Amino acid sequence: IGGGYLPRAKFQTLTEQMFYILLCLKNECYGMDIMDKVPAMTDGRVHVGSGTLYNLLEQFLEADMIRQTKEEGRKRSYILTQKGLETLENEYKRLQNQVADYEKLFL
């Protein structure tokens, strides 16, 4: 690859929507419930639409970050795997480091 550029590894950093979806899945949860939980836990700051949600759930399943626990008709529930928990923890640490860097400069 020219110029020393390496593409970012998938899920090395998470978008806010990814972060909150995984956070919801600390406990077993139906996909549809996530769309209600994310705005509730962020005071309406972050929303996840159904297209985004189901696309990300599929990607998280493929990456072994979550696993499906139940299927009732079209309703499916999911929970974090160890890999998903580690990804969430790494993002938490990354965000803490960003806050610490800000605080060193501005506080």
Say if pTM beats, i.e. exceeds, 0.75. yes
Q: For residue 8, what is the DSSP state?
A: P
Q: Which residue has the tokens 């899920």?
A: 11
Tell me the Ramachandran region of residue 73: left when phi exceeds 0, alpha when psi lies from -120 to 50, beta otherwise: left
* CA distances for 66 relative to 7, 29, 61, angstroms: 24, 11, 5
In this predicted model, what pLDDT tens digit does every residue of 54-96 receive, in sequence order? 999 999 999 999 999 999 999 999 999 999 999 999 999 999 9
Q: For residue 7, what is the DSSP state?
A: P
